[in-house]
Structure 1
Amino acid sequence: MAVRSAAKSRSEQKPRSTSINKLLKNPRVPFALALLFADAILVALIIAYVPYTKIDWDAYMSQVTGFVEGERDYGNLKGDTGPLVYPAGFLYIYSALQYVTGGQVYPAQILFGLLYIVNLGIVLSIYVKTNLVPWWVLSLLVLSKRVHSIFVLRLFNDCFAMTLLHAAMFFLLKQKWHLGLIIFSGAVSVKMNVLLYAPPLLILMLQAMDVFGVISALAGAAVVQILLGLPFLLMHPIPYLSRAFNLGRVFIHFWSVNFKFVSEPIFVSREFAIALLVAHLGLLTAFAHYRWCRHDGGLPSLLQRRIADLSSFSIKKFYTTSSTLKLLKTEYIATTMFVGNFIGIVCARSLHYQFYSWYFYSFPYLLWKTPFPTFMRLILFAAVELCWNVYPSNGYSSVLLFLVHLVVLGGLWTASPGSPYADQTNNRSTTRKKQK
């Protein structure tokens, strides 16, 4: 009996040691760890020697002070830069920061430095798992002067939103759709830009799960939003919903990095906003139909199959039956999410300097999805980084940024979509419990 137990123990340990050896033999893994360590030192030096830039931190502290003191009307939560325009998750995170740091900048910078390293670690794990780019390309992820500044010299809430988004993607790559949706909803509760990832995420869920799985995953995400916003929804729902989820905000022309070459009257006009929205929806539809859903017979075909699932819907079936789960390729999941977000970036009316964090970490990945030669990819990367470090932005830098975005988007369109499914012949069924 003891011999059998020892043999079983050795058989269990062998696959584990084999997996560890494979990881260590992959040059991406040790290189990623080295980058993480080196960048941690760089972040510490930046915090120690580069002066902090006062922008939004005081405004954030003013807004959360009102919340901590009991104010639940979003119309009365204001700071130096104006009224609060972020969902409730922002308040909880920055209230905790205020409690831990006493509202002081230096300890907050240390916490944001740790956040930067955590986010970078998650992003590196995504790159290693997708196995798309050469190992040396990972170094591009630590070369942005602007992104370091956004995290540890500006302390923007974009940093928390994107870290949570990348954490959600980490679990989505593992096909943990329900958990991924919950974390994704948490990211949305910090800043609404995360919703740019929602359309491609919905396509992925429709491909991976039947309609019952999609509904339950979306319900979990909705519950997160309701619970986080409950103190405001119960007392002052209209101010909360209108301010925290305002899709019609008009940004100041001076701070635009991407459309500075457009005159201010056109920039703030309703017609310009509608044109960009139409372009955004049109590009999403085109990519969804001709690229993401190509192997499903197109977007209408995929939607028809999921709508057909509703004909057999019942509450009992929703809770008791297993949900068909198709395994999607890891690279396909990451590509669809990153491209969907990038389309939103291209069509955004205004990109402020902190918005660079919305897509910087996906940009090297996107460049290596295009058919361009390596030297051209590096030139495009350098051009984007240059544009984001021109302050204040001008017509020339914004035109260059816009053109680079269009070139990359064109390259992504011409890239072969490939099959989204890990094994077309193996559509395994799994219980909802396992999906979660």
Structure 2
Amino acid sequence: MTSENKAMAIKSAVGGKHFMVIKGCKISKAAFSSALLVLDALLVSLIIAYVPYTKIDWDAYMSQVTGFFQGERDYSNLKGDTGPLVYPAGFLYVYSAIQYVTGGEVYPAQILFGILYIVNLGIILFVYMNTDVLPWWALSLLCLSKRVHSIFVLRLFNDCFAMTFLHAALALLLFQRWHLGLIIFSVAVSIKMNVLLYAPPLLVLMLKAMTIKGVISALTGAALVQILFGLPFLLSHPVAYISRAFNLGRVFIHFWSVNFKFVPDEVFVSKGFAVCLLIVHLVLLTGFAHYRWCKHEGGLIRFLHSKIVTMKLRSAVSSSSSLIQFFHDDSTFNILSKEHIVTTMFVGNFIGIFCARSLHYQFYSWYFYSLPFLLWKTPFPTPLRVILFLGVELCWNIYPSNLYSSFALFCIHVAILWGLWKAPCEYPYLDSYNDAISSTHAILIDNHLWKTYTHWILFKKEQQS
């Protein structure tokens, strides 16, 4: 065996999912991830100590928080030097706590964000460790972004907290903790609304994993979080809060766009361009949901039809104890595989990123941590995956963005999206039993169960006549 082969990390024949072998030494997966965390923590410390902080939004955040502390509850009056407050109430609570802890000083806030960076990286590594999509060495890609380090510890953006809570929610979903996961997801939304890009794939997963009753109860819990967080503002100035915090019609400045700088300014700000992107977004989501995410259920339409019929059948035959036992009234319906959950969530978010009218530099944190996973889900060879990853990182580190960098980023996004479309679909359910049930679920509903429901309706009509 050559020295190169000995140096190459390979899966161990014993416990291959949990160990790798480097020069004959067996190293656990957790140990490798822990080493990455330690090394990145050292790097973050060096960045904080030696790289100058860049003032962008911190003063505006502190001004908005100060207004909140002084008793202002009208969102239209909460402003900073970069403009009015445009984030939901969770943002105010998070940065109020930061101001209380740090006194509004930048350096202690950088330390706090450095800790947040490591916590977020730990959560992401935990997610990756539970899916086994990437080879061992590729986990190190999660630590190599210059731009993401800057977003966390040199810019102190609220995107950092939003994405950390989102990743925590995703980790909970891996273990079927849907209700708690939805609550944490809602907390993330309350800090920044970009998290809603995950909402469509999350809804599909909930419908696959839970009964309608479970979905409604989980969504109710998420809605209550938004109401409770926004209550001080909803009680005093509801219109100002809703219009400012949940403004979906904002038009961004063309200069700061990283992804569509190659589009002329007059087209970029036009309503027609926004409508076109929205249509593309909806088409892509529908296409992936029908042909990819619900492939094993017979497609999106059949899957939704089966859910509706199941709900009707539950209601119609509630007096039948045997059918009650078959359709037990529990919020958990199927157990989804971890890989399917992560794939669906990351792909759904990436579709939103692809169709976003403007991506600012801090928005890179919205999808950077999903890039290695997405690239290794494509059928591309490993060298091409690495090239695409480095290409994305390069485009995000060109400042200011220009026609060539934004067009290159657009082309890379197209390539990744195409690769995800061509990739084979993973089994959505945890085991072969659940998979068999899901594969035939729509057929059973359309045949035997629908006939049962029809016969019951005819029987009731005969009784009434």
Given the superposition, is the C-alpha separation of residues 427 and 366 from structure 1 closer, same or farther in structure 2, using an over 3 Å criterion?
closer
Determine if contact 2:18/2:29 at 8 Å carries over to the other structure.
no
Match of 2:362 in 1: 354
Match of 2:302 in 1: 301
Determine if contact 1:212/1:323 at 8 Å carries over to the other structure.
yes
Runs of 4+ in 1 over 6 A off after TM superposition: 23-26
Q: Distance in 2 between matches of 1:197 and 1:26?
A: 35
Determine if contact 1:211/1:309 at 8 Å carries over to the other structure.
no
- 1:145-164 correspondence runs (5 A): 145-164=146-165
Match of 2:351 in 1: 343
- 1:137-176 correspondence runs (5 A): 137-176=138-177
Deviation per residue, 1:315-371 (Å, 9 max, x gap): 9x9xx9323421111111000000000000000000000000000000011000000
- Residue 407 (structure 1) aligned with residue 415 (structure 2): yes
Q: Quote the offset at 1:308 in angstroms.
A: 2.6
Q: Distance in 1 between matches of 2:53 and 2:410?
A: 30
- 1:282-293 correspondence runs (5 A): 282-293=283-294
Deviation per residue, 1:56-94 (Å, 9 max, x gap): 000000001111111111010000110000000000000
Determine if contact 1:204/1:333 at 8 Å carries over to the other structure.
yes
Given the superposition, is the C-alpha separation of residues 299 and 82 from structure 1 closer, same or farther in structure 2, using an over 3 Å criterion?
same
Q: Distance in 2 between matches of 1:140 and 1:83?
A: 36
Given the superposition, is the C-alpha separation of residues 27 and 377 from structure 1 closer, same or farther in structure 2, using an over 3 Å criterion?
farther
Determine if contact 1:210/1:309 at 8 Å carries over to the other structure.
no
Given the superposition, is the C-alpha separation of residues 426 and 351 from structure 1 closer, same or farther in structure 2, using an over 3 Å criterion?
closer
Deviation per residue, 1:212-248 (Å, 9 max, x gap): 1111111110111111011111111111111101111
Determine if contact 2:159/2:362 at 8 Å carries over to the other structure.
yes
Match of 1:3 in 2: none
- Residue 232 (structure 1) aligned with residue 233 (structure 2): yes
- 1:11-30 correspondence runs (5 A): 27-30=28-31
- Residue 378 (structure 1) aligned with residue 383 (structure 2): no
Helix, strand or coil for the counterpart of 1:247? coil
Counterpart residue identity of residue 283, structure 1: L
Q: Quote the offset at 1:23 in angstroms.
A: 7.2
Q: Distance in 1 between matches of 2:27 and 2:201?
A: 30
Match of 1:88 in 2: 89
Determine if contact 2:210/2:332 at 8 Å carries over to the other structure.
yes
Deviation per residue, 1:30-77 (Å, 9 max, x gap): 111001000000000100110000000000000011111111110100
Q: Quote the offset at 1:303 in angstroms.
A: 1.2
Deviation per residue, 1:116-149 (Å, 9 max, x gap): 0000000000010111100100100010000000
Match of 2:65 in 1: 64
Q: Quote the offset at 1:22 in angstroms.
A: 5.5
Determine if contact 1:324/1:427 at 8 Å carries over to the other structure.
no
Match of 1:395 in 2: 403
Determine if contact 2:68/2:92 at 8 Å carries over to the other structure.
yes
Match of 1:46 in 2: 47
* TM-score between the two structures when normalised by the length of structure 1: 0.90
- Residue 202 (structure 1) aligned with residue 203 (structure 2): yes
Q: Quote the offset at 1:427 in angstroms.
A: 8.5
Q: Quote the offset at 1:307 in angstroms.
A: 2.1
Match of 2:275 in 1: 274
Q: Distance in 1 between matches of 2:333 and 2:132?
A: 23
In structure 1, runs of 5+ residues without a counterpart are 1-18, 429-436
Counterpart residue identity of residue 89, structure 1: G
Q: Distance in 2 between matches of 1:235 and 1:293?
A: 44
* TM-score between the two structures when normalised by the length of structure 2: 0.85
Determine if contact 1:27/1:135 at 8 Å carries over to the other structure.
no
Give the RMSD, CA atoms, in angstroms. Answer: 2.2
Q: Distance in 2 between matches of 1:325 and 1:23?
A: 33
State how many pairs are aligned. 409
Q: Distance in 1 between matches of 2:57 and 2:415?
A: 33
Q: Distance in 2 between matches of 1:207 and 1:417?
A: 16
Given the superposition, is the C-alpha separation of residues 293 and 26 from structure 1 closer, same or farther in structure 2, using an over 3 Å criterion?
farther
Determine if contact 1:43/1:113 at 8 Å carries over to the other structure.
yes
Helix, strand or coil for the counterpart of 2:156? coil
Q: Quote the offset at 1:419 in angstroms.
A: 1.9
Q: Quote the offset at 1:426 in angstroms.
A: 4.3
Q: Quote the offset at 1:409 in angstroms.
A: 0.2
Q: Quote the offset at 1:166 in angstroms.
A: 0.3
Q: Quote the offset at 1:313 in angstroms.
A: 5.1
